[in-house]
Structure 1
Amino acid sequence: MFATRPEFRPATVEVLVDGQPLSVPEGASAAAALLLAGLAASRETPVSGAPRLPYCMMGVCFDCLAEIDGVANRQACMVTVRPGMRIAPQCGARLAGTAA
C-alpha cells in the first residue's frame, strides 16, 4: 500500500531488535523497528498470553509495550530510535512495586 520513493534514501541508524542488528530510518520509532524486524509479536498480554504488535502508533492502545535498553513497559511508539538501542519483546507483566 505504501512505498518509499526510490529517490528518497533516509539516513539510517542501527539498533538491536530481539538481539538482531537492524538498520532503521533515522527518526523512526522503536515500534516501527519492531514491525520492520518482522517479529510475530512485540509482547504478550499478561492474563491470556495473547500476542500483540504495535497498533495505533500514537500512544493510545499500549499494544506496543516493549523492553527498551533494559527498561520494561515502554511505549515503543513514543520512543525515537537511537544508534545502538536495544529493543526486546515485553515478556509478561511487571512485578508489583517495581518501576514502570
Structure 2
Amino acid sequence: MEEHFVWVTTRRIRPGSLEDFERAWRPATHPDGMRRAYAYWSEDGQEITGVSFWDSKEACDAWRASEAEAQRRAGMASYVAEEREGFYRGRELAIPSGSPG
C-alpha cells in the first residue's frame, strides 16, 4: 500500500474574519513537493482544518521553513485565535466490498 505524508493544521479564527482569513491563507505559489490539499470548515465558519499531502516529510519541512510560508503565516496571524498542527504518515484504509449477509 502507498504511504502518505500529511500535514494537518486546524485554526480557530476570529468571528467575522473568514473572508479576510481565506485571502491570506492561500499560498501565492504552489509549494514544491505538495501533491494535493484540502480545506474543511466548521458550520459556524470559525474553524478551518487544512490537510495537505506531500512527497516526503523533507518536502513539507522545506516549505514550512521557507520565506513564502513565513509571509503567508504573518498575513493570516491577525485572524487566528488558536492553531494546532501536526505531521503524520499513513495509508488509505481498505473498505471491504459488499455488505454482511
> TM (normalized to structure 2)?
0.21
Structure with more contact order per residue of length (Cα contacts < 8 Å, sep ≥ 6): 2
Q: Which has the higher helix share?
A: 2
Q: Which has the higher strand share?
A: 2
